[in-house]
């Protein structure tokens, strides 16, 4: 087992997302649509639940170890879960998800209320590291991972499950996604 902690350069991305808006104000702004709350935590050398990417509408510090990120409907975000015990790493998990509206079918996921649509689920260090390198490659193209086509994340998840070669996200693929989105 790997005893290394996850790469801390991918610590929570909560830029200026901790805006002064209250949850009540946010709910009014989006027409009382339930917001998606994502639990995040950090206990040194034991657990690290953090966002690799995503733009929360608000981040709430619950206590020294726990935070909650709040996402608007249709937001795409990536949460990484790393756990360890005295003998080494016990869990690596990466999920790319999309926040939903009450009319959408959601999947129940521990730590995410009321749930979200799972676009990609990677389990184990090898799969998580493979996806992290693809996310880094997407960012190297100058594309924000939250703007990537949801279909790409689903394809990537299916390829991971089938143990097939993982497709690269290209600028051409991104341009096609943006053009198709404009037509809708």
The predicted pLDDT at position 17 comes to 42
Residue with tokens 């990120």: 69
84 within a domain of the structure (yes/no):
yes
Cis peptide bond N-terminal to 55, omega within 30: no
Q: Is residue 22 over pLDDT 90?
A: no
| 116-166 pLDDT, tens digit each | 999 999 999 999 999 999 999 999 999 999 999 999 999 999 999 999 999
| Helix axis angle, 150-162 to 171-183, nearest 10° | 130
Residue 93 lies in a domain: yes
Scored b (16 or more CB within 10 A) or e, 79-108 reads bbbbebeeeebeebbbbbbbbbeeeeebee
Q: What is the pLDDT of residue 10?
A: 42
Residue 124 lies in a domain: yes
For position 2, what pLDDT does the model report? 47
3 domain-assigned: no
DSSP strand pairing (107-109 vs 112-123): antiparallel
- Alpha helix segments (H runs only) across 32-124: none
Helices (H), 23-169: 23-29, 125-140, 150-162
Mean pLDDT of the chain: 86
Q: What's residue 133's pLDDT?
A: 97
Contacting residues for 149 by C-beta, under 8 A, at least 6 apart: 173, 174, 177
Would you say residue 123 lies in a domain?
A: yes
In angstroms, the Cα distances linking 52 to 24, 148, 157 are 26, 14, 16
Give this prediction's pTM.
0.81
In a domain, 1, yes or no: no
If one counts the domains in the chain, the total is 1
Q: CA 167 to CA 156: how far, in whole Å?
A: 7
Q: Could you tell me which of 136, 116, 148, 141 has the C-alpha nearest to residue 7?
A: 136
**Enclosing domain of residue 81:** 10-183
Reply yes or no on whether the pLDDT at 11 is more than 60: no
Report yes or no on 51 lying in a domain.
Answer: yes
Distance CA 166, CA 106 (A): 26
Is residue 4 a part of any domain in this protein? no
Whole-number pLDDT of residue 181? 86
pLDDT for the residue 105? 84
Q: Note the pLDDT of residue 156.
A: 96
């Amino acid at each position: 087992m790997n005893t290394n902690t996850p790469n801390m350069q991918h610590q929570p991305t909560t830029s200026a997302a901790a805006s002064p808006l209250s949850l009540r104000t946010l709910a009014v702004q989006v027409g009382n649509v339930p917001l998606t709350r994502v639990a995040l935590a950090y206990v040194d050398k034991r657990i690290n639940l953090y966002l690799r990417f995503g733009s929360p509408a608000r981040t709430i510090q619950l206590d020294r170890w726990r935070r909650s990120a709040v996402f608007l409907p249709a937001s795409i975000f990536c949460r990484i879960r790393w756990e360890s015990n005295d003998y080494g790493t016990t869990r690596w998990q990466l999920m790319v998800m999309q926040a939903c509206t009450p009319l959408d079918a959601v999947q129940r996921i521990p730590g995410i209320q009321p749930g979200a649509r799972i676009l990609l689920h990677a389990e184990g260090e090898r799969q998580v590291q493979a996806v992290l390198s693809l996310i880094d490659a997407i960012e190297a193209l100058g594309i924000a991972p939250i703007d990537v086509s949801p279909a790409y994340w689903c394809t990537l998840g299916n390829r991971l499950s089938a143990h097939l070669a993982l497709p690269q996200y290209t600028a051409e693929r991104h341009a096609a996604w943006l053009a198709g989105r404009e037509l809708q």
